[in-house]
């Protein structure tokens, strides 16, 4: 008998470990403490994954498979994946353990030791649910001086014939990002997000999470995530039918009390296995060809999946384990308490943290240009920022979270992933949102107690990192601005920065 282990982010009948499964094999799924608590994942994220796992187990049983499912509160649950595998090998005559490679380096490194520990063959199959294998990405990256996503994306478009014509990219351009930066108008009408029904299985999981994870971050209710492939497909259809048309125009826009905007909200379904990247791309491409969505929207959506998602996974497996420890800018300030409480007078931060707490979701500009921008210009320690992003979002696994945070947000890798730090002052947030209208700080004031903290923190970031960043060709404009400043102006920036962090520290100490 073969034992096939299915992880919580492998909820797909086409996952490699199931491709040749027979009804005589034993399929193991387990909710274990090790994976739920190595960081204190958002309560809603745990509900989503545990409920998704239980529903997927039902799907396997309905197809005649022999499933051994271990619930979190099972008295016999050992709390770790390896020990649960070992427990079954003591009961059954297991000839081989088969598992699809996990999405995190730490777990793969552990699994590579299982064969010796269990005295059994343990076969770790490549995760083929992506459109670029890790080997092919490594081959693409070899001998390149710069690993820029745009170059990778174009090759992926060609390879998979997505939005292509005989003469090249449809429309004549590869990238329509310049068309996707419209500020939100006052009367913008945003459709309601997809809402799945909460069945008895999910209700049981909600009760379990409330009992066993009371000190984890986040709200459980309202819970409306899809927990089956069928419901995830409905969410995809709803996005294409109701949101894709304006996704491009307003994908960078932020509106108070509108956390969902025109984004797809399917990242968590892609990353757990309910959806496949190609079916999402094909669905969006069809919307362009039938005239229901414009090219700038469809190309932007395709780029997120075919380009960015595949690219960051490639970077992760190419550069781990050293990538995780990188901190080129030597940032070391502790994560402020308001990242957990949302108790801050910066309205943009308060909105994005509150919505993250409520939804286990924030869209990419909230993550990058508000929460991440603050982390960058404030010099927050990468390890703490990475842990926060990993645990608060339902779509977050280390393979996707770490390159986005250490590379794109914090520039901790020194420019391996991003060509420049994505640092910005309050002017950017004011342009792309209406958050500033309800804030005690003024984005047009540069210094003093009424000034938007992003303004002086931005220049403090530029100043203190001059030795490392001045030579970056995309930072020339910023350093020309810094060089034009008087000594008095630079002293005011440093004084405002010191005052700001002293106030935060004093508040947190009570």
CB contact burial 43-52 (16+ within 10 A = b; e otherwise): bbbbbbbbbb
Q: Do domains 2-125 and 134-191+243-319 have the same CATH topology?
A: no
For 1, residues 6+ apart whose C-beta sits below 8 A from its C-beta are: 24, 25, 26, 92, 93, 94, 95
Side-chain-facing half-sphere of 402: CA atoms under 13 Å? 24
| Axis-axis angle for helices 134-141, 149-160 (nearest 10) | 120
Res 508 pLDDT > 70: no
Q: How far apart, in whole angstroms, are the C-alpha atoms of residue 348 and residue 370?
A: 7
Residue 138 tokens read as 């490594």
Phi, psi of 299 (to 5 degrees): -65, -40
Res 510 pLDDT > 60: no
Res 498 pLDDT > 60: yes
Say how many C-beta atoms besides its own lie within 10 A of residue 499's C-beta: 14
Under CATH, what is the fold of the domain 2-125? Rossmann fold (3.40.50)
What are the tens digits of pLDDT across the range 276-286?
Answer: 999 999 999 99
Mean of the pLDDT values across residues 380-398? 98
The alpha-helical segments, DSSP class H, found in 273-309 are 277-289, 295-302
Mean of the pLDDT values across residues 365-377? 98
Cα distances (Å, whole numbers) of residue 15 to 70, 100, 276, 277: 20, 7, 11, 13
Q: How far apart, in whole angstroms, are the C-alpha atoms of residue 234 and residue 248?
A: 21
Q: How far apart, in whole angstroms, are the C-alpha atoms of residue 246 and residue 252?
A: 11
Domain map (residue ranges) of the chain: 2-125, 134-191+243-319, 338-509
Task: Tell me what pLDDT residue 505 has.
Answer: 84
Mean of pLDDT over the chain: 96
- CATH tag for 134-191+243-319 (out of 3.30.230.70, 1.10.3720.10, 3.40.640.10, 1.25.40.80): 1.25.40.80
Cα distances (Å, whole numbers) of residue 54 to 57, 202, 274, 468: 5, 9, 13, 49
Res 317 pLDDT > 90: yes
- CATH top-level class of 338-509: mainly alpha
CB contact burial 269-286 (16+ within 10 A = b; e otherwise): bbbbbbbbbeebbebbbe
Q: How far apart, in whole angstroms, are the C-alpha atoms of residue 458 and residue 456?
A: 5
| Axis-axis angle for helices 149-160, 310-319 (nearest 10) | 120
Q: How far apart, in whole angstroms, are the C-alpha atoms of residue 251 and residue 182?
A: 8
Q: What is the DSSP letter of 406?
A: I
Percentage of the chain lying above the pLDDT 90 cut: 96
Mean of the pLDDT values across residues 178-202? 92
Q: How far apart, in whole angstroms, are the C-alpha atoms of residue 163 and residue 153?
A: 12
Residue 110 tokens read as 């552990």
Q: How far apart, in whole angstroms, are the C-alpha atoms of residue 111 and residue 121?
A: 11
Q: How confident is the model at residue 179 (pLDDT cuts 50, 70, 90)?
A: confident
pTM of the model: 0.96
Q: How far apart, in whole angstroms, are the C-alpha atoms of residue 507 and residue 510?
A: 5
Mean of the pLDDT values across residues 484-504? 96
| Cα–Cα nearest to 351, from 335, 333, 374, 332 | 374
What are the tens digits of pLDDT across the range 105-162?
Answer: 999 999 999 999 999 999 999 999 999 999 999 999 999 999 999 999 999 999 999 9
What are the tens digits of pLDDT across the range 431-488?
Answer: 999 999 999 999 999 999 999 999 999 999 999 999 999 999 999 999 999 999 999 9
| Cα–Cα nearest to 191, from 250, 107, 232 | 250
Res 509 pLDDT > 80: no
SS (H, E, C) 188-216: CCCCCCCCCCCCHHHHHHHHHHHHHCCCC
CA-CA-CA-CA torsion sign (328, 332, 337, 342): negative
């Amino acid at each position: 008998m073969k034992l096939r282990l299915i992880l919580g982010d492998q909820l797909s009948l086409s996952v490699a470990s199931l491709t040749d499964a027979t009804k005589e094999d034993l399929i193991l799924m387990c909710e274990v403490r090790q994976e739920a608590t190595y960081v204190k994942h958002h309560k809603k994220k745990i509900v989503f994954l545990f409920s998704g796992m239980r529903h997927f187990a039902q799907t396997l049983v309905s197809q005649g498979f022999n499933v051994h499912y271990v619930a979190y509160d099972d008295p016999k649950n050992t709390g770790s994946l390896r020990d649960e595998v070992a427990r079954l090998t003591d009961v059954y005559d297991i000839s081989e353990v088969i598992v699809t490679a996990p999405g995190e380096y730490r777990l793969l490194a552990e699994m590579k030791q299982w064969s010796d520990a269990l005295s059994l063959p343990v076969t770790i199959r490549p995760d083929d649910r992506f459109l670029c294998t890790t080997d092919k990405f490594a081959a693409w990256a070899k001998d390149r001086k710069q690993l820029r996503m745009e170059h990778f994306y174009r090759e992926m478009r060609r390879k998979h014939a997505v939005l292509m014509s005989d003469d090249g990219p449809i429309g004549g351009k590869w990238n329509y990002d310049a068309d996707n930066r419209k500020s939100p108008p006052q009367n913008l009408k945003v459709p309601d997000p997809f809402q799945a029904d909460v069945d008895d299985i999910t209700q049981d999981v909600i009760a379990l999470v409330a009992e066993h994870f009371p000190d984890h971050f986040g709200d459980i209710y309202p819970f409306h995530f899809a927990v089956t492939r069928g419901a995830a497909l409905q969410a995809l259809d709803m996005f294409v039918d109701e949101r894709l048309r304006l996704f491009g125009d307003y994908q960078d826009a932020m509106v108070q009390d509108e956390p969902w905007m025109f984004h797809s909200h399917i990242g968590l379904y892609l990353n757990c296995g309910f959806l496949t990247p190609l079916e999402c791309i094909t669905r969006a491409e069809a919307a362009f060809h039938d005239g229901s969505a414009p090219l700038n929207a469809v190309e932007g959506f395709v780029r997120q999946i075919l380009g960015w998602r595949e690219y960051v996974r490639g970077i992760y497996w190419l550069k781990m384990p050293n990538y995780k420890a990188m901190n080129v800018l030597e940032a070391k300030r502790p994560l402020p308490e308001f990242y957990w409480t949302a108790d801050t007078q910066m309205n943009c931060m308060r909105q994005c943290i509150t919505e993250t707490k409520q939804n286990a979701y924030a869209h990419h500009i909230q993550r990058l240009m508000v929460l991440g921008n603050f982390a960058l210009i404030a010099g927050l320690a990468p390890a703490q920022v990475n842990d926060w992003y990993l645990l608060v979002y339902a779509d977050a696994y280390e393979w996707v979270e770490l390159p986005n945070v250490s590379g794109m947000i914090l520039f901790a890798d020194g420019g391996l992933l991003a060509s420049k730090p994505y640092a910005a002052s309050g002017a950017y947030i004011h342009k792309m949102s209406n958050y500033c209208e309800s804030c005690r700080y003024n984005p047009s004031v540069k210094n003093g107690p009424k000034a938007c903290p992003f303004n002086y923190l931005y220049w403090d970031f530029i100043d203190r990192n001059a030795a490392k960043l001045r030579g970056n060709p995309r930072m020339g404009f910023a350093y020309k601005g810094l060089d034009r400043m008087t000594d008095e102006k630079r002293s005011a920036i440093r004084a405002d920065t010191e005052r700001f962090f002293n106030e935060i520290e004093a508040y947190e100490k009570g």
